[in-house]
Structure 1
């Protein structure tokens, strides 16, 4: 039995709305100024709605093929200069974020936020930074860096927060798992790449990290290999 005409029309509208190809990207019927403005609003809408940084390829789907995304982002950043939020370049894309000066205000409100990161203890944060610098690194190597055993619970906490992933097996005896940071780590700490990490020499001068300790550990055979042979 054929569907009523009204039902067919609704289905047709729904199908077109769900088809990305139906979006008029070029906006050729608009004057240049209004076209640019609409592209800006589209980019801001996507960034505002996204739960994680949005890359260039994704944003290019909603603007004209000859549109400069970099210039659009520059204009948006300028327009938001006096607002409590901004568009930042992070983890290989762009993200809509509250400005750091208002972070305490947001925390005081106790309002749930869509971009909240897991709260880390000071020690967990230091372990995470050590992994960022020395990755891929094993738990035994981390234990040598800190002069005390790094527990499986600490690693599990960082993994559950989305900051760590398993790296390649170490070439040391027992082939223990190594750990590496994730894209979520870059996003949470506002970095584009690991090259944005603070200067490691300054941390070594402060006695917080030691590359020599890791190098020594890497050549010593059999340290915690039995415990590290399986992924926690």
Structure 2
């Protein structure tokens, strides 16, 4: 996902001539989203629609239809999913905090992948200045924050790593370009605290939401 991902245009005016065709397409999109346990990419949704119908127009119609309901259409980059309306979430979820211990190396690796993706293992080691154990990446892969990307078209065809939609969801980001820059981190005092922090393990609290 990049800063060039399409964003729903909430200024669209649906005229009567297009309304019926869009309404039928919206029913298809609704069915696909409800049947999927994972967010769906806009291109995957478009494959099920007439070529003359713009998938983003259909998604905007669905978004408007559900704006005042108990569920809403949520966009994360180019991915879409139905989610419980924020003001009703407390009725359906119980939260328990699961503390997952990430080593300093894992946190540094996650930051490097987030800001430099797609990035290879060797490139991560070059940025950190030290060799990385396989377990460091395994922890991030298991947590669902990173995944394997495409192989580089270079000798050895090394595998690259990128962040996932779960990473965006957990940190409240719509797209990866929403990550704060160095200036913002310094102004918030976060960069200094990271540099001056303990060398021992850091803890990252992950909220695991279970739907009853």
Q: CA deviation at 1:204?
A: 2.8
> Comparing both structures, which one devotes a greater share of its residues to helix?
1
Q: Quick check: 1:55–1:94 contact (8 Å CA) kept in 2?
A: yes
Q: Quick check: 1:89–1:95 contact (8 Å CA) kept in 2?
A: yes
Give TM-score scaled by structure 2 length: 0.55
Out of 21, 24, 27, the position equivalent to 1:38 is 24
Distance 2:148 2:44 in 1: 27
- Aligned pair in 2 of structure 1 residues 76, 166: CA closer, same or farther (>3 Å)? closer
| Cα root mean square deviation, aligned | 4.1
Q: Quick check: 2:71–2:82 contact (8 Å CA) kept in 1?
A: yes
Out of 110, 133, 141, the position equivalent to 2:115 is 133
Where 2:75 maps in the other structure, the secondary structure is: strand
* Superposition map of 1:1-232 within 5 A: 33-108=19-94, 121=100, 127=108, 128-129=110-111, 131-135=113-117, 136=119, 138=124, 155-165=137-147, 180-186=161-167, 188-189=169-170, 191=173, 193-209=175-191
- Aligned pair in 2 of structure 1 residues 183, 108: CA closer, same or farther (>3 Å)? closer
Flag structure 1 segments of 5+ consecutive residues without an equivalent.
1-30, 111-117, 145-149, 170-176, 214-232
Distance 1:126 1:105 in 2: 33
Distance 1:47 1:83 in 2: 16
Distance 1:87 1:76 in 2: 7
Give TM-score scaled by structure 1 length: 0.51
Aligned residues: 163
Flag structure 2 segments of 5+ consecutive residues without an equivalent.
1-16, 153-157, 196-212
The structure with more radius of gyration: 1
